[in-house]
Structure 1
Amino acid sequence: MSLAQFTDFVKNITTENNNPASDSSGVGAQLQKALGDLQGSPEEKMAKVAQELSKLAKSKGFDVSEADVNTYIDSLKVQYDMNPMIASMADTYCSSSCHFASAISAS
């Protein structure tokens, strides 16, 4: 399993068109179907996100485990917490066009 493979997968799905998370077919539709009704504690939601993203990545030919997804998300959290410029860019991006944020509600 490979964190680099997950990074490649994320690049692939976020650049396949202008708005993959709300695309009516392909990866966008699969993400919405898999993650559209997340329920439970934040930990349970993250476990489900890792499971579904790993499954979707594997279906697209990427060798990605749930641990890879968790490592990727944890690294984003660290970057966000440690670097104010990254935090500002992430806040701006996610408030305007973040595809994962549109698929994973904060509630």
Structure 2
Amino acid sequence: MERLVAYLLRAFPSKTAEAVEAITEGAVKSDRVRKWLQLQCAPDFLALLHLIRAFGADFLVCVIGDAPESLLEAAISERRARFLESVRKLEEEFGSSSSR
């Protein structure tokens, strides 16, 4: 449970509960997340599925701790894809601003 809380706080240092509700498109309510953050209760299976959908393999690797190699590879692949997408957006942004 502590790993899940640490992951969520790292992902959203401020307004964590509200951010989790937003990223799960309202499937996980902020009041439930606040209870997790205070270690009052644990997420149920459905909430975990929504978190996995929202955060992907990286979330699973962090929460599981000793994740299998295949899951580590998936997390690395997802991170690489996010990085390349951010590079593409920056190149697009700077490319369009230099043509002004």
Same fold (TM over 0.5): no
For normalisation by structure 2, the TM-score amounts to 0.29
Larger Rg over CA atoms: 2
